[in-house]
Amino acid sequence: MQWLIYFRQTALTLATITAIIAQAQGSLTINFSVGLLTDVLYAHIGVGAGVVTILTLPMILLFDMAQERSYSATVLFELVWMLVLSVVWIVAGVKTMGVTNSTFKVCNQTNATLLGLCQDAQTLVVFALLTAGILILYAAALGIAATSAASSGKPIWTRFPLPGKKH
């Protein structure tokens, strides 16, 4: 089960990186859409999801690294939080797909700004759904590991110390 610790660190780091990219694309869309697009709710959802993800996932990792004991976050909290973030990212991706298909149709606009907005929206879709996929994959791995540890009567976090920590 040591794999879960490394998988957790990798998944949360990758999700943070993809969230930064998606949040940046949403911000670009908001900034450049003034006067051109009326429906930019998808960009606001992307920015909001990005900000929440960028603030919480590194804090979870940093808080655990600062502790002198095993992981401090509870399995239930992490499962629920990862699934909530996943749902928000899925909503951002699907909403962006809908707007992209209805507003832009195809990214071959003659206006350079509209072409840029279309490409930013496509990038937002990819990274929003990628972030959601990473978080769902981690939540599934965590749920499976927690269930198997609990069914054998072993606590999941206290049994597996952080790498490099002395217990």
Whether 166 is covered by a domain: the verdict is: no
Determine, yes or no, domain membership for 90.
yes
pTM of the model: 0.84
31, part of any domain: yes
Listed in sequence order, the residues at least 6 apart from 105 whose beta carbon sits closer than 8 Å to its beta carbon are none
User: Which tens digits make up the pLDDT trace of 5-29?
Assistant: 889 899 999 999 999 999 999 998 8
Evaluate whether 118 touches 28 at the Cβ level (below 8 Å): no
What is the tens place of the pLDDT at every residue in 64-79?
777 665 554 577 888 8
Pairwise pLDDT comparison (75 vs 43), residue with the higher score: 43
Q: What is the pLDDT of residue 109?
A: 67
In a domain, 128, yes or no: yes
> Predicted confidence band at 156 (pLDDT cuts at 50, 70, 90)?
low
Query: 38-64 b/e with 16+ CB inside 10 Å = b?
Result: eebebbebbbebbebbbebbeebbeeb
Please give the tally of structural domains in the chain.
1
Domain that holds residue 27: 2-159
Asked whether residue 65 is assigned to any structural domain, the reply reads: yes
